[in-house]
Copies of this chain bind each other. A is one copy, B any other.
Amino acid sequence: MEFRQLDYFVAVVETGSISAASRRVHVAQPALTRQMRLLEDDLDTRLFDRHARGIRLTVAGRALYEEAIQLLDARAQIKARLAALGSGQVGKLCLGITVTHLWVPDVARLMGGYRQCYPGVAFEVFPLLSGPQLERLREGSLDAGILYLDSAEQPGLETRLLQHDHLMLAVPEASPWSAAPPASLDELKEADFVWGFRSASPVYYDRMLAHFERLSFSPRVVQYGADNITILSMVAAGLGIAIVPSASSAHPMPGIRFVHLPELEACDMPLWMAWRASNDSPALHNLVGLVEEVFGDGGVSSPGQAG
């Protein structure tokens, strides 16, 4: 049983004769006769009685006709679906992103634009810190991630620079620090700091600490928070002050005052998009294309390399 035979068979049934079907499918009548016989042989069943006026379906023929219609329809649908999938109009896309950057205008523009351009794609966004994102990118449960990386070169991954963050100081609005903002880190030697865990985002943490080491600054930590949102809420509650990525100031937070310090702005925190190099998902490639549009061509794309 082949699709061609089913095509012919449906034509024969619907025209009521092999000759008429041969005109419809543009194939000589004996060829059709032969294909119908082959189909009958294959199914080991008579599909129709031949008469001088045409053919008449047997019970088996009627049954096959119903099924054939469905099979041919299924084939057409599969072809259509694969075409949509191949162009990225349909499919699934899992994007990881740090909570901190959900509110950055360009990132929001990227996500909104993608959903608008490709409404057929099931677009799922996972709020994850850089460390977990990297893991899940490698294991394949994320298609792309927006995260901090220690380098553009990531084995098995491709990367693209989105923007450069730096660091800022976040102080409670109700505190003396808000009334008289510090001008330098030196003034913060005795301050109470809310701090993050290294494991949440090792790259960010190490980079920041290396920077402070160069400045010979070591904060007095009184409290730890799991992510920047948590840390900022603690700052707002007056538990202390914190050093956070500049992206955190993208949307105003009640009770928080952000303070720029030259020493903190000097700490470069590049934000990357990364995806598995072997990921051929057209939906992903469309996302990468949209990144070029939203973030411009300033970024660098690097082919991932093993080792």
Contact = CB atoms under 8 A, between A and B. Distances in A.
A3 interface: yes
Given A59-B281, A91-B59, A282-B59, A82 B3 contact: no
Secondary structure type dominating chain A contacts: helix
User: Closest 3 CB pairs between A and B?
Assistant: A45-B86, A58-B280, A67-B78
Interface of A: 1-4, 43-46, 49, 56, 58-60, 63-64, 67, 70-71, 74-75, 78-79, 81-83, 85-86, 91, 278, 280-283
A280 B45 CA distance: 12
7 contacts: A1-B78, A43-B79, A43-B82, A45-B82, A45-B85, A46-B86, A71-B71
Contacts of A78: 1, 64, 67, 71
A75 B1 contact: yes
A74 B63 CA distance: 14
Given A63-B82, A79-B43, A280 B49 contact: yes
Contacts of A59: 85, 91, 280-283
B280 A46 contact: yes
A150 B103 CA distance: 90
A71 B64 contact: no
Contacts of A82: 43, 45, 60, 63-64
B63 A278 contact: no
Contacts of A280: 46, 49, 58-59
